[in-house]
Homo-oligomer: A and B are copies of this chain.
Amino acid sequence: MATTPEAAGVQRTAKPTLNSIARATGVSRQTVSNLLNDPDRVAEPTRTLVNDEIRRVGYRPSAAARQLRTRRSHLLGFRMRPSGDGINGSIHDRLLHALTARAHERGYSLLVFAAADDAAEIAAYQELRATNALDGFLLTGTNHGDLRSDWLREHAIPFVAFGRPWGREDAATSQVHDWIDIDGGAGTDDAVRTLAAEGAARIGFLGWPEGSGAGDDRFDGYLRACRALGLPCDLVERVEDGFENGAEAASRLLARGIDALVCVSDSLALGALAQMRGSGREELMAHLVGFDDTPVARAVGISSVDQPIEEAARRMVDLLVHRIEHPDSPPPQNPVELLSPTVRRRSPANTY
């Protein structure tokens, strides 16, 4: 890689270091260090002098050296999940992006890693923690009896989850660990009420099989609203996620007579939409609500429950950073938080 010196006029100087700028300004090395970490400790004459030199040479502290000394990497771990359906997966993408942005604002970076299953994820924690000294982890997709959170807690590793610790009676308020979640039940509740206010009397529910935390939660919201409104609450189909399944289940619901439909995902909603059209029940298309407000729903014009992902990401990072930087002071914000989603009302594109 022998670059001829004259060829690179721009920046042929060696990488600036604490030492080099100390020499250049005639102060000692730790004065420079102090200036960076605790500016008030250094008096005015030297302060600007050193500051100017720092800017002049474009000095940036070495994360490795700092990490070696402070045992902090300023790195947060995030596991990449397989794209899955992809329609709903876009929300994962959105979360990652929001987390990255917020972490950056707080002086942290995200280290992403792939893991096939939860066991592999735990192994990754261990490895990343030991070698790369990750300061904490951001979890997604918590499920019943989640092994990951247990492991992390046992090892006293800071983390915050997107999703409640499901499977506990007190899931919605449980403080077994820090978490931020979206109140899915409130979303379906709201959807039912919106539909009912528009005149729907037989509102169907198209959800996931019993057993998934988020799915059950959304089902509960449907139940709650229908009962409160005195509407039938047995127009229910619960199937695995996916377009095809949505279409099939919707056809059964259609046969039983519904005049509106709430779905727990946009994949299912899209399938239902197709079924409605296929069955010549186009008038129902405007009374269909999906979940996640994915780009597909926006494009096709399906109403959907919009989750405040960016807000959730902000809180997750803030909470985690607090746990890392002030391990034994209580966080300024609630360590468990249920955020409310919003129903985005729209009607299928007229051409569609």
Contact = CB atoms under 8 A, between A and B. Distances in A.
Contact of A83 (B3, B58, B295): B295
A275 B299 CA distance: 13
A80 interface: yes
B83 A100 contact: no
A156 B1 contact: yes
A112 B77 CA distance: 11
A127 B60 contact: yes
A89 B90 contact: yes
B3 A299 contact: no
B89 A114 contact: no
Copy number in the complex reads 2
Given A104-B114, A113-B109, A156-B3, A83 B62 contact: no
A327 interface: yes
Given A60-B130, A112-B110, A243-B300, A93 B104 contact: no
A328 interface: yes
A293 B54 CA distance: 50
A112 B114 contact: no
A296 interface: yes
Among A10, A63, A65, A110, max chain B CB count under 10 A is at: A63
25 contacts: A3-B156, A11-B155, A62-B68, A64-B65, A64-B67, A68-B68, A75-B111, A80-B101, A83-B94, A85-B295, A86-B93, A86-B295, A86-B298, A89-B93, A109-B128, A110-B113, A111-B111, A242-B299, A270-B299, A270-B300, A271-B299, A274-B351, A278-B350, A278-B351, A296-B296
